[in-house]
């Protein structure tokens, strides 16, 4: 089969790496891509967010399956446009992707379906929000309703901070139209886990779980980023918890989406907090997580194409999706300065040339290197790999324990370098943010 992957990050390299191991895949293209995906597939220099260009490319290569990585093209209806062109695409329709694109829509779905989450209120007027917040002294979380590239959430210990956050959204419009409405939520506490399930609109696969690290500095300090590391499976993840989350969160949500006439097909990603009162949903996303995908793709033992086609065709009840248990830890290397301003074009040393190809050095090193902001630069001395973005690589170690996987990941990280490279040194440390607790 010919596969087109849409996206340019570590998530998409990890998807390409896993798809390359499927006996069903003969050829792959990537819309966007990076130096890592170039070793496994043909990169095509178009924007993953340009829906008409992606559809044209899928037609030109006669793709048998399109796998969409990021949320933006899903929210803009890429899967609907591909379906109209008769091309099977893995990911939710535009109307189902609202579960990520609108936090108020997602909360309404959860309320209707009885899915546990924080208490919340939605406001369309700044004055009403301010009025509510000044009368309501407890800590709250303020969220811009729409897509804000992961930046639209403010944790507010008191009314002053909350009123400022609302002003930022609704008056200063720092997130543009995404902040036209805001959701005010109860501030919950507990360890967080990202849970992923394949859904065909009605049936669900076994879920898989991972933990990620969002803040830039050790000890969960500093500004939020697109992700500084991840591990899977979490030590507390067992069949009892997986069953509880499926029963109380994933299944009722998928059932409600079907009732609403927007059946959810694709990967459903639930960001969950394990509170003292049980699992509570912080958010739903309509895609795989990054950098979680880099540690869960190595766990997928069954065929990824089978799972994706079954999700599209409504066949998940006849398709086994099997996840392994071997611990994996992923450390993200970023450009110095990220998530603020940073330089690019720095040569990266210590990479293997195999890019995760079947038969590469993976088994020998027990590690994998997934690329994100990297590019091939050619000059008189041949081709070099250089940095081209803020998040540059995810280095994944595998082991018999999280500690072992962590040690392997950091050994490999130390062999890789570029000017001003930065990474957290506590990824996979279960004490950080009580990620090992339940
Ligand atoms: P979201 O984009 O909604 O997942 O929010 C980003 C991050 O904000 C989450 O990973 C949590 O760390 C935090 N967060 C979101 N909602 C809440 C909440 N209701 N209570 C506590 N923390 C939250
Ligand atoms: N790991 C967070 C995200 O993918 O949104």
Which residue's C-alpha comes closest to atom 5 of ligand 2? 289
Angle at 114 between CA 125 and CA 318, to 5 degrees: 120
Q: 282 C-alpha to center of ligand 1: Å?
A: 5
- Which residues fall within 8 angstroms of residue 403, CB to CB, at 6 or more apart? 428
In ligand 1, the atom with minimum distance to the C-alpha of 103 is 3
In ligand 2, the atom with minimum distance to the C-alpha of 292 is 1
* Residue where the block lists tokens 């803009």: 76
Residue 146 and residue 178 in contact, taking contact as beta carbons nearer than 8 Å: yes
Q: Which of 271, 272, 276, 287 gets mutated to test ligand 1 (max ligand atoms within 8 A of its CB)?
A: 271
Q: Which of 269, 273, 287, 294 gets mutated to test ligand 2 (max ligand atoms within 8 A of its CB)?
A: 269
Q: 438 C-alpha to center of ligand 1: Å?
A: 18
Ligand 1 pocket list (CB less than 6 A): 118, 141, 143, 153, 185, 187-188, 192, 271, 282-283
290 lines ligand 2 (CB under 6 A): yes
CATH architecture, domain defined by 328-413: Alpha-Beta Complex (3.90)
Please say whether the dihedral angle defined by the alpha carbons of residues 103, 107, 113 and 118, taken in this order, is positive or negative: positive
285 lines ligand 2 (CB under 6 A): yes
Domain ranges of the chain: 2-98, 118-186, 328-413
Which residue's C-alpha comes closest to atom 3 of ligand 2? 289
Q: 381 C-alpha to center of ligand 2: Å?
A: 38
Q: 190 C-alpha to center of ligand 1: Å?
A: 11
Q: 70 C-alpha to center of ligand 2: Å?
A: 10
Kindly report the pTM of this predicted structure: 0.96
What are the mean pLDDT values of the chain's consecutive 10-residue runs (438 residues total)?
98 98 97 96 97 98 98 98 98 98 97 97 93 89 89 89 91 90 94 97 98 96 94 96 98 98 98 97 97 98 98 97 98 97 96 70 84 90 90 97 96 96 96 79
The CA-atom distances, in angstroms, between 241 and each of 15, 41, 191, 251 are 26, 37, 14, 14
Residue 356 has what pLDDT? Answer: 66
* CATH H-level, domain 118-186: superfamily: ATP-grasp fold, A domain (3.30.1490.20)
Please say whether the dihedral angle defined by the alpha carbons of residues 224, 226, 230 and 235, taken in this order, is positive or negative: positive
Residue 360 has what pLDDT? Answer: 67
The CA-atom distances, in angstroms, between 114 and each of 138, 141, 250, 252 are 24, 21, 11, 8
Please say whether the dihedral angle defined by the alpha carbons of residues 129, 130, 132 and 137, taken in this order, is positive or negative: positive
Q: 138 C-alpha to center of ligand 2: Å?
A: 27
Distance of CA 271 to the CA centre of its chain: 10
Residue 191 and residue 279: Cα distance in Å, rounded? 10
In ligand 2, the atom with minimum distance to the C-alpha of 288 is 4
Residue 354 has what pLDDT? Answer: 65
Q: 347 C-alpha to center of ligand 2: Å?
A: 27
Residue 352 has what pLDDT? Answer: 77
152 lines ligand 2 (CB under 6 A): no
The CA-atom distances, in angstroms, between 352 and each of 70, 356, 371, 378, 413 are 27, 9, 12, 17, 12
100 lines ligand 2 (CB under 6 A): no
Quick one: fold of 2-98?
Rossmann fold (3.40.50)
């Amino acid at each position: 089969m010919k596969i087109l992957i849409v996206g340019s990050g570590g998530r998409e390299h990890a998807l390409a790496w896993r798809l390359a191991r499927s006996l069903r895949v003969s050829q792959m293209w990537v819309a966007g891509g990076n130096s890592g995906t170039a070793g496994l597939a043909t990169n095509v220099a178009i924007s993953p967010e340009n829906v008409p260009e992606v559809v044209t490319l899928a037609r030109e290569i006669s793709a048998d399956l399109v796998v969409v990585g990021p949320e933006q093209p899903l929210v803009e209806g890429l899967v609907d446009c591909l379906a109209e062109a008769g091309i099977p695409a893995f990911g939710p329709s535009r109307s189902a992707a609202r579960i990520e694109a609108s936090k108020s829509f997602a909360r309404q779905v959860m309320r209707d379906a009885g899915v546990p989450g924080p208490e919340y209120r939605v406001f369309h007027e700044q004055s009403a929000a301010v009025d509510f917040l000044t009368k309501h002294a407890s800590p709250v979380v303020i969220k811009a309703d729409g897509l804000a590239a992961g930046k639209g959430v403010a944790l507010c210990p008191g009314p002053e901070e909350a009123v400022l956050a609302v002003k930022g959204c609704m008056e200063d419009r720092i997130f543009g139209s995404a902040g036209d409405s805001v959701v005010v939520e109860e501030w919950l506490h507990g360890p967080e886990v990202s849970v992923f399930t394949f859904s065909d609109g009605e049936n669900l696969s076994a879920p898989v779980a991972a933990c990620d690290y969002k803040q830039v500095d050790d000890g969960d300090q500093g500004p939020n980023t697109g992700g500084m590391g991840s591990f899977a499976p979490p030590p507390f993840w067992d069949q009892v918890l997986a069953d509880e989350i499926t029963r109380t969160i994933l299944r009722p949500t998928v059932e409600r989406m079907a009732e609403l006439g927007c059946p959810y097909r694709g990967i459903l990603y639930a960001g969950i907090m394990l509170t003292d009162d049980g699992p509570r949903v912080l958010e739903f996303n309509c895609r795989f997580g990054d950098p979680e995908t880099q540690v869960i793709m190595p766990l997928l033992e069954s065929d990824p194409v089978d799972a994706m086609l079954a999700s599209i065709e409504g066949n998940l009840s006849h398709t086994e999706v099997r996840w392994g248990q071997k611990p994996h830890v992923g450390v993200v290397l970023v450009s110095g300065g990220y998530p603020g301003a940073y330089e690019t074009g720095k040569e990266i040393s210590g990479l293997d040339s195999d890019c995760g190809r079947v038969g590469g050095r993976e088994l020998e090193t027990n590690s994998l290197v997934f690329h994100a902001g990297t590019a091939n630069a050619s000059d008189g001395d041949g081709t070099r790999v250089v940095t081209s973005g803020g998040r540059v690589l995810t280095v994944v170690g595998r082991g018999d324990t999280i500690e072992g996987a962590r040690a392997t990941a950091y050994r490999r990280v130390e062999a890789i370098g570029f000017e001003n490279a930065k990474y957290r040194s506590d990824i996979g440390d279960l004490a950080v943010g009580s990620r090992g607790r339940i």
